A and B are shown apart, each in its own frame.
Chain A
Amino acid sequence: MARADRQALAARSRLLPEGRVAGPMPWIIAVMMFLTILAAAAGLALDAGVRAMGSDLAGRATVQIVEADGEARAAASQRVLAALRGTSDVRSAQPVEQARLVEQLRPWLGEEAVDGDLPIPALIDIELRPGDADARIERVRRLLAGISAKARIEPHAAFLLPLAGLLSALGWLAIGLVALMAIATGAVVMLAARGAHDSHKGTIDILHLMGATDVQIARLFQRRIALDAAFGGALGFVVALLVLVTIGGRLAATGSDLLAGVRLPWTSWLLLLALPVGGVLLATLTARLTVLRALGRSL
């Protein structure tokens, strides 16, 4: 900025008393921004988690062959496996080893699962080719029906559908919270702008009588409030960032595959970064409109 421009800006900004970052507004905006960033980050992380879970599970399914007779089960299992490996809908089909099934059932069924008296269904994990998973599942279901009445397919997505629904609902809740925070921030700025207008009414009257336009006067207020909002927004963002990094570290430390899916891609970080900028723009616009409206009531 040229020296003359700086002088002009300084001269214009002096028309209202100094006192930026005075009063509670910057601190309220900092708290609002902190909560907004956390809510938005939660929403974005949940959305990323739901997407990851969806893409991960949509193409997977387990085929069960529920047959009490061991020999018949083994024969049906072989026929089903061959059919699955022969269809274009399935990228890979892998039988689950009986020993592994027994190990997984032992905690619930005890040693009876081991001695072979208890019939355990044969399982085949399949991975579908990319595309319309529902249509592929349906075709595989028809294929299995033609091979064995004891074979049935269980898409993995169906197991976690309620969880995905919950995460999705939480994501929408986060979006709602962000919207509410934006409204609350706007309301705070509106009250602050009205207060500033009222407390500087004497100066405003003088400026008006000297020939100042409403826009010139509103610009003084919007500049001050933009600076306050920038301070509050930056403070709230930095603190929220520290919290997010800490929580991210804790999530990673759990080692859980499910929780590992709850992470923020770089596009989400850009969106979070845009929130304080949007907050400053919102505050500036709100201040301008509020002051213009108040000025419009005077002569």
Chain B
Amino acid sequence: MSTIVQFENVGLRYGLDSETLSDVSFSLHGGGFYFLTGASGAGKTSLLKLLYLAQRPSRGVIRLFGEDVVTLPRKRLPGFRRRIGVVFQDFRLVPHLSAYDNIALPLRLAGMEESEVDAPVAEMLGWVGLADRAQARPATLSGGEQQRVAIARAVIGRPEILIADEPTGNVDADMARRLITLFEALNRLGTTIVVATHDLPLIAQVADAQMMRLDKGRLADPTGSLRYPPRGPDAH
């Protein structure tokens, strides 16, 4: 499998504070399924921000799809971002857009013809069980429904990497199982999955997943090759 993400001695500092992430080095292979764990404040969301190009590191090298994205001109970032799907912890749905339009967003931004947008969006709405809520605004959706819209939006463009930050935080156990089943299905189609979570039962559901664990901004397993269940006293 080819390496599609590579972090080398990456550090991230916000302002003059101490480093949120220090000396983070790992590689992700195309088609892999990765869990990122760690206590609250360990730096999971910061690491994901670097991964989905919402932030540049203070130091180190990040290679995405074989290119150094730290020094990449910002006008080339959209092309990389379109290859990444993100499920944000707080969903980040566009509040004035309907569920339908939120899900259609990546397709429209990619320049897809309007006539070609309807079928995949309708399919995705049906798949996340929100076909009858297509025109609902996010404010009228429950937390779980919003999360499903966010997931549908993240996967509709068939991204090469899907990044999910605590995707099961607002859904019941049944929905969590369905989400993981979805992620596995996408993974089988070749999408690299990165899920930040501290939901150990969730991790246990994916047999072939690898796990990275962050502890106070440092990667506890720099090789990134830990498999579930992790061994040792640090295991969550």
Contact = CB atoms under 8 A, between A and B. Distances in A.
A214 B78 CA distance: 9
Interface in B43-102: 52-56, 74-75, 77-79, 81-82, 86, 92-97, 101
Interface stretch (A3-11, A24-32, A189-197): A3-11
A210 B113 contact: no
Nearest to B154: A210
Given A208-B81, A209-B81, A203 B94 contact: yes
A208 B86 CA distance: 12
Contacts of B132: none
B115 interface: yes
A187 interface: no
B130 interface: no
A207 interface: yes
B104 interface: yes
Nearest to A18: B96
A11 B96 contact: no
A7 B113 CA distance: 10
A203 B93 CA distance: 8
A16 B97 CA distance: 9
Interface in B124-180: 153
B113 A211 contact: no
Given A11-B101, A17-B96, A207 B109 contact: yes
Contacts of A15: 94, 97, 105, 108
A135 interface: no
Contacts of B95: 203
Interface in A182-240: 202-203, 205-214, 216
Given A7-B114, A11-B108, A11-B114, A211 B79 contact: yes
B106 interface: yes
A6 to B, nearest CB: 9
Contacts of A100: none
Nearest to A217: B109
B105 to A, nearest CB: 6
Contact of B115 (A4, A14, A16, A210): A4
A245 interface: no
Contacts of B114: 4, 7-8, 11
Contacts of B39: none
Interface SS majority for chain A: helix
Contact of A4 (B55, B75, B113): B113
A12 interface: yes
Contact of B110 (A7, A12, A211, A296): A211
Contacts of A214: 75
B109 A210 contact: yes
B109 A209 contact: no
A146 B119 CA distance: 99
A191 to B, nearest CB: 23
Given A214-B75, A299-B56, A209 B82 contact: no
Contacts of B105: 15, 206-207, 210
Nearest to B100: A11
B104 A211 contact: no
Contact of B52 (A4, A12, A16, A209): A209
A11 B101 CA distance: 8
A205 B55 CA distance: 12
Nearest to B82: A211
Nearest to B93: A206
A209 B53 CA distance: 8
A212 B52 contact: no
Given A206-B92, A206-B94, A209-B52, A12 B108 contact: yes
Contacts of A207: 94, 105, 109
B109 A211 contact: yes
Given A4-B115, A12-B108, A212 B78 contact: yes
A206 B138 CA distance: 14
Nearest to A216: B109
A216 B97 CA distance: 17
Contacts of A216: 109
B113 A8 contact: yes
B78 A211 contact: yes
A211 B81 contact: yes
Contacts of B96: 14, 16-18, 203
B123 to A, nearest CB: 18
Given A4-B114, A11-B114, A15-B97, A210 B55 contact: no
Interface of B: 52-56, 74-75, 77-79, 81-82, 86, 92-97, 101, 104-106, 108-110, 113-115, 117, 153
14 contacts: A4-B113, A4-B115, A8-B114, A11-B108, A15-B105, A17-B96, A202-B92, A209-B52, A209-B86, A211-B79, A211-B109, A212-B78, A296-B74, A299-B54
Given A299-B53, A299-B54, 12 more contacts: A7-B115, A12-B108, A14-B101, A15-B94, A17-B96, A202-B92, A205-B54, A207-B105, A209-B54, A209-B81, A211-B79, A211-B109
